[in-house]
């Protein structure tokens, strides 16, 4: 999935109010950018880090830049926009390029299920059980090579895990899809010290038959794409 508009480099001044970031462009101009990430962004919001932002000229948008990437300046990138994994995964599923899901032809995003919830993707195919796919964007890394989820307490995430377990009890497939938006990690783990309630729900869901899949991504200022499966420990 390519970015709609070529990204431009900048430096982070500060991230605040969850969805706002003050940035300094290469020409020295300081502006406020939209930060499409409600998480803690642990390790990704230090003042002065190099970032990549997407400009826009949409008159309906107040902010003319959207923060998309952190550039670790060592050849690696992290994607910070939590909407990108769904877009990248949808394109990959529709191309039948995710082996675990390749047998499904119908891909329906944002379908109601559970208790006042929406599943990221409902996959359907005659003769197969419906597949409920919940996508999690993984950006935290506190140990070299290891990606972790979540980066903050997520009551909403815990609720979704429980609802996926209920889907398996109803005879459907249910999948937790951890998409690692980092290019410097080779495995994924649940950050039980950050949210022990989520970790407990994750274990119960696995026992109930919820499938847990992790993939890494290739990321550059040109775009983001799914790459290969990662071990989930």
pLDDT at residue number 25: 98
Domain range summary for the chain, segments of one domain joined by +: 8-79, 84-229
Q: How far apart are CA 22 and CA 100, in angstroms?
A: 40
pLDDT at residue number 1: 86
| Residues in CB range of 64: below 8 A, 6 or more apart | 31, 55, 56, 57
Check whether 60 has a pLDDT greater than 90.
no
Check whether 116 has a pLDDT greater than 90.
no
CATH code of domain 84-229: 3.40.1350.60
Residues 131-161 pLDDT 10s: 999 999 999 999 999 999 999 999 999 999 9
pLDDT at residue number 114: 84
Confidence of residue 169 (pLDDT cuts 50, 70, 90): very high
**Would strands 140-143 and 145-149 be described as parallel, antiparallel, or unpaired?**
antiparallel
Most confident of 82-91, 108-117, 212-221: 212-221
Strand partners for 121: 109, 133
Q: What is the pTM of this model?
A: 0.94
Section 64-92 average pLDDT: 95
Residues 180-201 pLDDT 10s: 999 999 999 999 999 999 999 9
Say which CATH topology domain 8-79 has: OB fold (Dihydrolipoamide Acetyltransferase, E2P) (2.40.50)
> Cβ(124)–Cβ(108) under 8 Å?
yes
Q: Identify which of 156, 165, 152 has the alpha carbon closest to the alpha carbon of residue 204.
A: 165
> Cβ(35)–Cβ(84) under 8 Å?
no
What is the rounded average pLDDT for all residues in the chain?
A: 96
pLDDT at residue number 115: 84
């Amino acid at each position: 999935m390519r970015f709609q508009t070529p990204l431009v480099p900048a430096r982070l001044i500060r991230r605040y109010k969850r969805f706002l970031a003050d940035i300094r462009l290469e020409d020295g101009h300081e502006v406020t950018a939209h930060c499409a990430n409600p998480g803690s962004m642990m390790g990704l919001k230090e003042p002065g880090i190099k970032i990549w932002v997407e400009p826009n000229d949409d008159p309906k948008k107040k902010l003319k830049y959207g923060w998309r990437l952190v550039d670790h300046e060592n050849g690696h990138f992290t994607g910070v926009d939590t909407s990108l994994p769904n877009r990248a995964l949808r394109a990959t599923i529709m191309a039948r390029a995710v082996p675990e899901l390749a047998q499904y032809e119908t891909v329906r995003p944002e379908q109601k299920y559970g208790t006042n919830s929406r599943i990221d993707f409902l996959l359907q195919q005659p003769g197969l059980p419906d597949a409920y796919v919940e996508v999690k964007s993984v950006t935290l890394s506190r140990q070299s090579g290891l990606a972790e989820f979540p980066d903050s307490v997520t009551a909403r995430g815990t609720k979704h895990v429980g609802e996926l377990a209920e889907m398996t009890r109803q005879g459907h497939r249910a999948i937790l899809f951890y998409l690692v938006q980092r290019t410097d990690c080779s495995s994924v783990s649940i950050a039980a010290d950050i949210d022990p309630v989520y970790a407990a729900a994750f274990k119960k869901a696995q026992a109930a038959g919820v499938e847990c899949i992790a993939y890494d991504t290739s990321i550059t200022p040109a775009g983001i794409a799914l790459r290969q499966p990662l071990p989930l420990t």
